[in-house]
Amino acid sequence: ANRVTTYGTTPAFQRQAETRPLLRLSLGLGGQPATVATAQDETFVYFEQGATAGVDGQYDAYKLANPSGYYLSTASADAQPTDLSIDGRAPLAAGTTTTIPVRLSVPAGAYSLTATSLLNFASLNGGTGVYLRDALTGTLINLATTPSYSFSVAAGAASTGRFTLIFGTATPLATTSAALRQAVASLYPNPTEASEVTLTITGLPADVRSLDATLTDALGRPVGHYTLPASQGAARTSLPTQALASGLYLLQLAPHDAQGTSLGTLPIQRLSVR
């Protein structure tokens, strides 16, 4: 596995009891949960005073190429993101959420991502959740309760855009009420090479009068924001895509009533631009 083998300038993980919030994410083969011994590759995220979301030589370690062909890293939040094997971040403030892209490059096959270490989050700010999001399947995994996630990778799959780590308060990241669960959203065509796609939403509660639609790229950066009027439980609009680079995008939908009060969020929609 591709692990750090020199420690002169890399962040220290002390042999005594770890006090920092820390996640060790390990890549396993065959869809079976990984262990430290069986991991084909791994990446670390921790939170410490002085670290930032960018590359910090004192707190981060660059990712090295892995001759085995299995590659797992996080990405810094710089304008030109850098792959990291050890990713130090600023301490998590209460009520905030930190999102970190995961980069994965592997041959086609079945794999798992496992939290082989998950330390000091339960006591942080009264309980801080650690989640793994799979944008391809729409799955959100709470790593504290489900430490391993099995998935498949197709031949030629992109190394970025699919997986994200989310650190925040231990509450659901999307609040979908029972009434909103009846709503159905669709994007057409999807995947698309067209200059625009049509967003259609049906099955909305009668009190929904508008929706905020926010389109983000794979790194969570907003690339478009739209407001849709809703009437009789439905909404429809066209979203321009001609300025978007090829890749995976996520569409977040938040309905509001006539007074502008948020009614929750709908499940995130995925848009593939070719």
Q: What is the residue-averaged pLDDT of the chain?
A: 87
Structure tokens at 176: 């979908």
User: Of 142, 169, 196, which closes a domain?
Assistant: 169
Among 148, 169, 190, residue at a domain's last position: 169
Average pLDDT over residues 42-50: 97
Checking if the pLDDT of 173 tops 90, the result is no
Q: Which residues contact 74 (CB under 8 A, 6 or more apart)?
A: 43, 45, 83, 84, 87, 100, 101, 102, 103, 165
Q: Which of 134, 169, 204 is the last residue of a domain?
A: 169
Task: Give the structural domain span for 42.
Answer: 22-169
The answer to whether residues 163 and 122 belong to one domain is yes
Do both 37 and 91 map to the same domain? yes
Which residue in this structure is represented by tokens 């020199």?
6
Higher pLDDT, 1 or 8: 1
The span from the CA of 274 to the CA of 192, in Å, is 6
Give yes or no: residues 196 and 263 share one domain. Answer: yes
User: DSSP strand E in 120-217: where?
Assistant: 128-134, 139-142, 148-153, 163-169, 184-188, 196-202, 210-216
Residue 64 has pLDDT above 90, yes or no: yes
Report, as an integer, the average pLDDT of 14-34. Answer: 89
pTM of the model: 0.63
Overall average pLDDT of the 237-257 stretch: 90
User: Are 152 and 189 in the same domain?
Assistant: no
Q: Are residues 193 and 159 in the same domain?
A: no
Residue 175 tokens, joined = 């609040």
pLDDT of residue 136: 75
- Minimum mean pLDDT among 51-55, 124-128, 215-219: which range? 215-219
> Which residue bears the tokens 């792959």?
83
Residues 152 and 123 in one domain: yes
175 lies in some domain: no
Domain count, the chain: 2
Q: Is residue 233 part of a domain?
A: yes
